Structure 1
Amino acid sequence: MSEIIEVQARKTLQNITPYPPGKPIWELQSEQGLSKVVKLASNENPLGPSPKALEAIVCSLSDIHRYPDSSTSNLRQLIAVKLGMGADNFIISNGGDELITLVSEAFLEPGDEIIVPSPSFSEYEFGAHLMGANIVTVPLGEIYSFDIDAIVNAVTEQTKMICICSPNNPTGTYLSKSVLHHLLDVLPKHILVLFDAAYSQYADADDYTDGLEFVRAGYPIVVLQTFSKIYGLAGLRVGFGAAPESIIQQILKVKEPFNVNTLAQAAAAAALHDVEHVHLSLQINRQGKNQLYLSFRELRLPFIESMSNFVLVELGPDAKSIYEQLLTKGIIVRYGGLWKLPHHIRVSVGTEEENSTFIQRLSEILKLT
């Protein structure tokens, strides 16, 4: 006889929907009986991981019977030297997602409000719901630009945090240096800005900022960075936050010990200085974006020119059907329904061959639609 479970979860969990990750390659292969699958769904580096990171992992394997360095001293020091800041300005996290949760746990309380431009990365809302805070969404403006006036006008006495993703996922648009500076100057000083710069290495606009200069200037800002994207270490889950030391000290109070494993720390430290890998990754991304842009223009599909390693493209009312048909042909992209963009898909930039395969399959489907 099965027992009736009467244990009640926290009420705030009613607001939380588990994050839906991109479909893994093996799953689609199993479902469709496919031998080859092209995955352009999770903004991963198509070049693969940094070779120096792989070498560092091999050299660290004999030490995995030991607990990792809980304070991540070596990695923090290397990042600090590279970015011209102090090691105490950094916290290393289990990917960018953990940092968002840690910031939420450190600063949000029930009844607080966070402001999130929309559409954007869903994990900001997850962190707020986890702490019982309220989410205030502010729609992006024309061509998915940031509407700073609308953000400022949404501020109330309950506002505790503002989350800005730049370049923004899923639109690829960004916030300029001057506009971010203006925002930080006009906001009440008790409001924390979480500036997600996970895709910053891809941004090449003259007026782009990764936000780090405002950390150096002492503004109440936490800049999120990750090794999952351009460094190609998504499977290891390692990222970091940069902020004034007083803010870092508060976040450290809620960090679990040993949150970043030994192999991840070693790989990130090596990848940080793999200049050749970063250069090649940027080159492939630029060429890939231009390849996709040209094809979308030929297919007369509206798209947003991106400062990142993905492109948001509009397919119209049949977008979900087209997305599903692409799956049957071995192509994994991201359907826009996740961001309430039901007419869109987000396409990660792949290799030339992967991009060509995607465009060929998409063209075949569009001819029949």
Structure 2
Amino acid sequence: MSTELWRQDVMKLQTYVPGKSIEEVKKQFGLSEITRLASNENPYGPSPKAVAAMQAAAAESHLYPESTSAELRAMLGEQYGVDSAQILISNGADNVLMLIGQAYINAGDEVVYCVPTFPVYRTSTVMMGAVPVEIPLTGDHKFDLDRILGSINERTKLVYICNPNNPTGTIVGDGELESFLRKVPSHVVVVLDEAYVEFVELRDYRKGIEFIKKGYNVISVHTFSKLYGLAAARIGYAIAPPEVLAPLLAVREPFPVSRMAVAAAIASLEDTEYRDFILASNRDGLKYLQREMTALGFDVPDSYSNFLFADTKREAAPIVESLLRAGFIVRPCKGWGYPNHIRVTVGSPEQNERFIAALAEIVTGQA
């Protein structure tokens, strides 16, 4: 089929390239065991209670799901201290972000964010015929709020802030963020992508929900993929005032989330003991990997997520290739403009130790 039939804006899109799959690497290198530390997945998987809930819900697969996910929204509303009408459930956080673009962006609008960051911001902008305004991160890999403010004009519709940011794991502090929000004009909606925010354990750190409660024009976006290990289930949500969510509901599909996914999300929220175990394991894993990779000569800044953004101090591609041959998948960052960097997901203690042993052997061999 000729591309002349394509919608013109689709021609401007860059196809999202995910990290290498376990199956692909096994086949390529003839390996039987692979450890993927590239996609920021929970190394332990979902709560056993979530798995049981999915299995039970599968018996009702012949029935359409309850379209509003009322029970899950009620639980989240209680957790955040808001009415359930302020919560929208959909098919993963990336789908929520696409809905925001469909609901708010007109052709010719401008959408501002920093790069590198999650690529869906650009995709949703370009798909709607709008103009992405991309600003480099600061020298310490954070969103440059001052330059974002300086780029806002009468054509600006949305501002995206990924906090913590992917792929760098950095955050903008809540004080910086509130100072920024005070200055954003009323015709601009600020989208806080908080896919990794549960991993931020700073004392008294205020998350997006607090700014929503204070009346700022903010949409907070979350996922069950990371902390709760439900990446394959595809379930995420947005928090905002009902009038802000109204156009998202208008463009969202009628049954966006499966019965199994909703059941798993509810069970995950109930299993606080498992959640706390995951957070503690991630905290220890971050410290271990940062310490050991620094000892190998890498520059590894603090991360507030479940991954590390490491400067290898050399071309990273040979390291990535050698790790693949050793059975470890990490994310090269050349596509984000960082040819010397890799992104490494925190694994289980055993996975982390095996990874460091393999990395040490590779780095020593290249020295």
1:85 aligns with 2:85: no
Aligned to 1:32: 29
Q: Which residue of 1 is the match for residue 166 of structure 2? A: 169
Task: Give the structure 2 partner of residue 68 of structure 1.
Answer: 65
What is aligned with 2:101?
A: 104
Distance 1:118 1:205 in 2: 25
Give the C-alpha shift of residue 7 in structure 1: 5.1
State the distance in 1 between where 2:220 and 2:242 align: 13
Percent identity over the alignment is 39
**Separation in structure 1 between the aligned mates of residue 203 and residue 195 of structure 2, nearest angstrom:** 18
Aligned to 1:94: 91
How far residue 6 of structure 1 moved from its aligned partner, in angstroms, is 6.9
Provide the rounded CA distance (Å) in 1 between the counterparts of 2:250 and 2:25: 41
**37, 44, 61: which is aligned to 2:41?**
44
> In structure 2, how many angstroms separate the alpha carbons of the residues matched to 1:5 and 1:336?
33
Question: How far apart in 2 are the matches of 1:130 and 1:273?
Answer: 38
Among candidates 350, 353, 356, match of residue 350 of structure 2: 353
Q: Is 2:322 the counterpart of 1:325? A: yes
Q: What residue in structure 2 maps to residue 15 of structure 1?
A: 12
Tell me the residue number matched to 2:152: 155
Shift, 1:133, TM fit: 1.0
Please give the alpha-carbon distance, in whole angstroms, between the structure 1 residues aligned to 2:334 and 2:270: 38
What residue in structure 1 maps to residue 189 of structure 2?
Answer: 192
AA at the equivalent of 1:37: I
| Local SS of the residue matching 1:179 | helix
Q: Which runs of 5+ in 2 are unaligned?
A: none
Q: Which amino acid aligns with 1:234?
A: A
The residue number in structure 2 matching 1:311 is 308
Question: Aligned residue pairs: how many?
Answer: 366
- Cα contact 2:299–2:313 (8 A) shared by 1: no
Q: Gaps (5+ residues) in structure 1?
A: none
Sort the Cα spacing of 1:230 and 1:6 in 2 relative to 1 into closer, same or farther, 3 A: closer
Distance 1:132 1:342 in 2: 31
Which residue of 110, 115, 127 maps to 1:113?
110
Residue 279 of structure 2 is aligned to residue 282 of structure 1: yes
SS in 2 for 1:60: helix
SS of 1:142 mapped into structure 2: coil
Counterparts of 1:174 and 1:286 in 2: how far apart (Å)? Answer: 16
- Match of 2:5, SS state, is coil
CA distance in 2, matches of 1:206, 1:169: 22
Query: How many angstroms does 1:368 deviate by?
Result: 2.3
In the alignment, the residues of structure 2 paired with residue 359 and residue 242 of structure 1 have an alpha-carbon distance, to the nearest angstrom, of: 39
**In the aligned structure 2, how far is the partner of 1:111 from the partner of 1:60?**
44
> Does the Cα contact within 8 Å between 2:143 and 2:161 map onto a contact in 1?
no
Partner AA of 2:336 in structure 1: W
Q: Give the aligned residue type for 2:363.
A: L
The offset of 1:139, in angstroms, is 1.3
Q: 1:360 corresponds to which letter in structure 2?
A: A
Aligned residue for 1:361, secondary structure, equals helix
Q: Match for residue 344 of structure 1?
A: 341
Segment of structure 1 superposing worse, 305-314 or 358-367: 358-367
Which digits, 9 at most, give the CA deviation of each residue in 1:241-280, with x for residues without a partner? 0011101111100000111011001110110121011111
Aligned residues of 1:174 and 1:208 also touching (Cα < 8 A): no
Cα distance in structure 2, aligned partners of 1:316 and 1:6? 42
RMSD: 1.3
**Residue identity in the other structure for 2:87:** F
Cα offsets for 1:319-361 (capped at 9, x unmatched): 0121122111111000002211111000000011111121111
How far, CA to CA, are the matches of 1:158 and 1:305 in structure 2? Answer: 36
Report 1:107-146 matches (<5 A).
Answer: 107-146=104-143
Counterpart residue identity of residue 243, structure 1: A
Structure 2 residue 250 is the aligned partner of structure 1 residue 253: yes
CA distance in 2, matches of 1:231, 1:8: 42
Distance, in Å, in 1 between the alignment partners of 2:8 and 2:58 is 43
Q: Match for residue 269 of structure 2?
A: 272
Tell me the amino acid that sits aligned with residue 311 of structure 1: L
Q: Which amino acid aligns with 1:105?
A: Q
User: Which residue number corresponds to residue 296 of structure 1?
Assistant: 293
| SS of match in other structure, 2:232 | helix
**TM-score, scaled to structure 2:** 0.97
